[in-house]
Chain A
Amino acid sequence: RGLLTRLNTPICIVCYLAAIVWFMGLAFEPFTLRTDMSENAMGSTMVLLRGASAVPRQGVRSSQKTGAVSTWLVKAMQSRGLEVFTQSFSRKLPFPDENKERYMVRGTNVYGILRAPRAPRTEALVISAPCSPGDSNNQAVGLLLALAQYFRNQVYWAKDIIFLVNEHDLMGTQAWLEAYHHTNITGMEYSPLQGRGGSIQAALSLELSSDVITSLDLILDGLNGQLPNLDLANLFYAFCQKLGVLCTIQGKLQRNDWDTAEGYTHAAQTMMLMVLKQACGRSWGDHGLFLRYHIEAASVRGINSFRHYKTDAATIGRLLEGMVRKLNNLLERLHQSYFFYLLPSLSRFVSIGCYMPAFGLLVVILLLRALDLWVHLGAPALAAVEGVTEAQQPSGPAVLTVLTPVVISHLTGVALYLLPVHLQEMAVEHFPVSETEAVVLTAVAIYTTGLALPHNTQRLLSGEGTEQGWKVLKLTALLYLAVLLGCTALINFSLGFVLAVTLVPITASMTPHMPKALSALVMVLLSPAFTILYCVFIYQELIEAPVSVSEGWMLFLSVISQGILDHALYGSLVYPLLALFIYPCWLMFWNILFWS
């Protein structure tokens, strides 16, 4: 213990550097594991693929002009021998979504059920394709219908197969899933489902953005950073290999030259993209909402990257057929392989045991600092005991000085969480801004006001802060942050790690005795809001679409509005986490800096 106290600062610095190096090393191929099919029911035999083609995409396109997609779809599905049902839903967004230009949403989901001929109908698989007016996902809908026609004539289905065409992408999926499971978490209005299959075992979502497909991208990141079982990714990869289809993850092809610098950078970039996407906690495809219901799901997105190598619809059909048939063979839910992983490429993965130490090293810093403070707090007490008879005792006022900033910080957090959406009408009346801008700017304004608040009120309430006071506060805040980050990282590793990387250095080193202006600047630059801003820039850099500062700022604002919307619409937890916990925690440290 003595050693830990004396060498506290060097140990912390070493831990921090080690964490960063460890994390970056995860992308290095020799440290990663090769993905391997773990599920026996899917692994041993390759199914024989015959293939479905003949894509009736003309119909979708022509009926879209007349605006009667759902009636056309019902007919088309019925003619292929499915049990067809529709579901209508409507939802008023808390404020207009400017990215997708929608406010009052009204739509219809169409789904057809192919009943399993070979088994009791207790389990089901879902193949879904989002289809909105004006959207160009016609290819996928066509492919879906072709698959339905082909599957109808096969006899080996042991699970119901549900073909779902959902309108308004995620919102349609949300309405359908909530109706299927008889829940209502987000206050959406929808009509109940008329027909149902068994419990859904797995789902695939199909997005083909253009007529020409050169590669297929697999999207795994779901709501709140949840990932499907790794076996689903393995399955996709195995069939892509078999059929000779180019497959990517995060839009990045796999490279084989891991021992060169470029190869490593490439893998690191892929992994960083995954971390950033996962950290933002939104669902990056329709599959993301299935994961919440314990359904393994992934999105397959066809991409036209103008390569020479083209994949025709029949091949994609065969690929999907293969995947569905393998899933059809499942005897129980996918559970053999990993649920917590990072993918530097499709054939390599980093499991939880490998990446957690990187995060652990960061949290250890917080605990070490807390231990150090604890020893320092105990030392004067012991000294007093040796000198005089009276023992040190934590008195009432000391508790109060610590409690006040904690409560005030959390109240600010609650304001940040509640006010933006509730105050939008008032803001629109008084300022020349749209509703969305009003929400985002209110959030930014409250965030900034929070910086001015705590230390002023603290001075007002309790007068002179003592040396012991800030130490106790810092001890509390450090433990609080450590527990908070730990819990976050368990649910969403990437979010926890990104927050830890930026928050740990300032929180570990913050004392009131540092030069005020400089450390205040550093603290603001490493605050949660700026972390989001950096993530936006890094993300744009990684997808090879760098942006200027002003564009970056606009993107930042839209990311915030998306975050708030995701919380309201789908129950994403990132916004409440940041507003109610991380931000108040950061404010406590801000308070320590201005302890007087």
Chain B
Amino acid sequence: MAAPLTLLLIVAVTIRAVLFRSSWAELISERVEVVSPLNAWKRVVEGLALLDLGVSPYSGDVFHETPFMIYLFHFVVDYAEIVFMVSPGLVFCLSRFLTSLYLFRKQKYALESDRYPADCLELLRSPKEMFYIPLKVAMFYLLNPFTILSCVAKSTCGLNNAIIALFILCTLKGSALLSGILLALATYQSIYPLTLFAPALLFFLQRLYIPVNLRRSSFWFFTLQYAFIYVGSLVVITGLSFFLLGSWDFIPSVYGFIFSVPDLTPNIGLFWYFFAEMFEHFRLFFICVFQINVFFYTIPLSIKLKEHPVFLIFMQIAIISIFKSYPTVGDVALYMAFLPAWSHLYRFLRNIFLVSCVLLACSALFPVLWHLWIYAGSANSNFYYAITLLFNFGQILLVSDYFYAYLRREHHLTHGLYLKKKDGTEATLVLK
């Protein structure tokens, strides 16, 4: 197991090192699909320059990273490439632990297989299959072209991904304190991971065998404890940032920027075209509608998936990367790394062929239509937005397909694989 992992790591690092040195790096770091105004390296450099001159990096409208990030790079700017190399490495380590941990949990299911009807045995994974899953997760993340592009462009998105990955790792390891702190850090970086609070809490409750029951004091006790860790570290981090910079400039410049979406540079998300076309006085209303989208799904999903917090984390990350205001391909890569962990759902997926075709075609069409629009001048923004829509449609289809497959598998686990209707014909399941 160690040998292929090392090999994989070497291959991944080689690809990145070669690309860093090639002339493509500059081209890639200009692509709007890969970098967003939030995480472009160019802007970080600008912020650093301002900081060195003793000016607040948030004066002007260029820099939108958090103060921690800029101080991090203040010390390691000469080794920036190495930092960006390491960040996927972190995710890589995580992926190992993540899957192995999660799967050992799953194995318990296998031991308890007498709980399930006999014909469901094939739905449970054999240890041999699970053995390879960490390798696959690592491969999916490290060799994913999206991750490679994002890393070569030195998008700080890779670091955010690493933080989220560490958070998941700590959660699965069962350390509530570290998990809360890292979640606060992730929230501090880009707000949206806020929605991961619910799955993390559910996971700990499940782990400690505390039932989700509003009348039980143990439930409230733990919830408050976890919320306190989370909110407390968030306050501490924000306070620290204030002391580092000596002003609250970063609040409007980072979080205001994320929420009110003033930068309408085209990207792979849904915001830019819509708000470029919008009448100005409806802007506030629609911003609320669009932003609530990200947070809204947390409640119904948490209720539906309260027994399966790890899958809920996956769903949340996917939803964030689809609906956030400045998405890049790096965000997409993060949730795609989870897909091999659900390989047991494969047989229940219905649209996987369609989805992969759509995602593949869209990834190829993005640069082509960008060329036609910006350089050749023969197409226009509508063409590009059409592809953006299609890409997001593909992502949503992918996520909902996995959701459906997960629920269906759970149903089969309790009711048997080959369902019969009352009259003996084969039944079909309908998602309600």
A residues lining the B interface (CB < 8 Å): 226-227, 291-292, 294, 333, 335, 339-340, 367, 370-371, 374, 381-382, 385, 389-391, 393, 479, 482-484, 486-487, 490-491
CA gap between A390 and B353 in the complex, in Å: 23
Q: Chain B residue with minimal CB distance to A371?
A: B353
Partner of A490, one of B129, B360, B369, B377: B369
Residues B325-382 near A (CB distance < 8 A): 343, 347, 353, 357, 360-361, 364-365, 368-369, 371-372, 375-379
Q: Chain B residue with minimal CB distance to A486?
A: B361
Query: Dominant SS at the B interface?
Result: helix
Q: If the complex has contacts A385-B122, A479-B360, A491-B372, are A226 and B365 also in contact, measured as CB distance less than 8 A?
A: no
In angstroms, how far is the closest chain A Cβ from the Cβ of B346?
8
* Contact size range, B: 20 to 34
| B353 and A393 contacting across the interface, CB-CB below 8 Å | no
| B378 and A391 contacting across the interface, CB-CB below 8 Å | no
Q: Chain A residue with minimal CB distance to B379?
A: A339
| B376 and A294 contacting across the interface, CB-CB below 8 Å | yes
Determine if B13 is an interface residue (Cβ-Cβ < 8 Å): no
| A367 and B369 contacting across the interface, CB-CB below 8 Å | no
| B347 and A385 contacting across the interface, CB-CB below 8 Å | yes
| A483 and B364 contacting across the interface, CB-CB below 8 Å | yes
CA gap between A374 and B349 in the complex, in Å: 13
Determine if B397 is an interface residue (Cβ-Cβ < 8 Å): no
B residues lining the A interface (CB < 8 Å): 121-122, 129, 343, 347, 353, 357, 360-361, 364-365, 368-369, 371-372, 375-379
CA gap between A382 and B371 in the complex, in Å: 43
Residues of B within 8 A of A374 (CB): 353
CA gap between A227 and B368 in the complex, in Å: 16
Query: Dominant SS at the A interface?
Result: helix
Q: Chain A residue with minimal CB distance to B126?
A: A390
Task: Name the residue in B371, B372, B378 with the highest tally of chain A Cβ atoms < 10 Å from its Cβ.
Answer: B378
- CB-CB nearest 10 A-B residue pairs: A339-B378, A294-B377, A487-B368, A483-B364, A389-B122, A374-B353, A483-B361, A490-B368, A487-B364, A226-B376
Residues of A within 8 A of B361 (CB): 482-483, 486
In angstroms, how far is the closest chain B Cβ from the Cβ of A356?
12
Q: If the complex has contacts A374-B353, A385-B347, A479-B357, are A490 and B365 also in contact, measured as CB distance less than 8 A?
A: yes
Q: Chain B residue with minimal CB distance to A339?
A: B378
Q: Chain A residue with minimal CB distance to B356?
A: A479
| A483 and B360 contacting across the interface, CB-CB below 8 Å | yes
CA gap between A226 and B357 in the complex, in Å: 28
CA gap between A277 and B364 in the complex, in Å: 26
Residues of A within 8 A of B129 (CB): 393
Q: Chain B residue with minimal CB distance to A374?
A: B353
Residues of A within 8 A of B379 (CB): 339, 490
Residues of B within 8 A of A339 (CB): 376-379
CA gap between A4 and B148 in the complex, in Å: 37
CA gap between A553 and B353 in the complex, in Å: 44
In angstroms, how far is the closest chain B Cβ from the Cβ of A478?
10
Q: If the complex has contacts A339-B378, A490-B372, are A391 and B353 also in contact, measured as CB distance less than 8 A?
A: no
Partner of B378, one of A226, A371, A486: A226
Residues of A within 8 A of B372 (CB): 490-491
Residues of B within 8 A of A226 (CB): 376, 378
Extra inter-chain contacts (16) besides given A333-B377, A335-B377, CB under 8 Å: A226-B376, A291-B376, A292-B376, A294-B375, A294-B377, A367-B357, A374-B353, A389-B122, A391-B122, A391-B347, A393-B129, A479-B357, A483-B361, A486-B365, A491-B371, A491-B372
Q: If the complex has contacts A294-B376, A340-B378, A479-B357, are A389 and B368 also in contact, measured as CB distance less than 8 A?
A: no
Q: Chain A residue with minimal CB distance to B4?
A: A396
In angstroms, how far is the closest chain A Cβ from the Cβ of B8?
12
CA gap between A294 and B377 in the complex, in Å: 6
Q: Chain B residue with minimal CB distance to A227?
A: B378
Residues of B within 8 A of A486 (CB): 361, 364-365
In angstroms, how far is the closest chain A Cβ from the Cβ of B240?
46
Task: Name the residue in A333, A340, A483, A486 with the highest tally of chain B Cβ atoms < 10 Å from its Cβ.
Answer: A483
Residues of A within 8 A of B365 (CB): 486-487, 490
Residues of A within 8 A of B360 (CB): 479, 483
In angstroms, how far is the closest chain B Cβ from the Cβ of A333?
8
CA gap between A580 and B172 in the complex, in Å: 46
In angstroms, how far is the closest chain B Cβ from the Cβ of A577?
12
CA gap between A479 and B360 in the complex, in Å: 9
Q: If the complex has contacts A371-B353, A393-B129, A483-B361, are A491 and B347 also in contact, measured as CB distance less than 8 A?
A: no
In angstroms, how far is the closest chain A Cβ from the Cβ of B311?
20
CA gap between A339 and B380 in the complex, in Å: 11
CA gap between A391 and B129 in the complex, in Å: 10
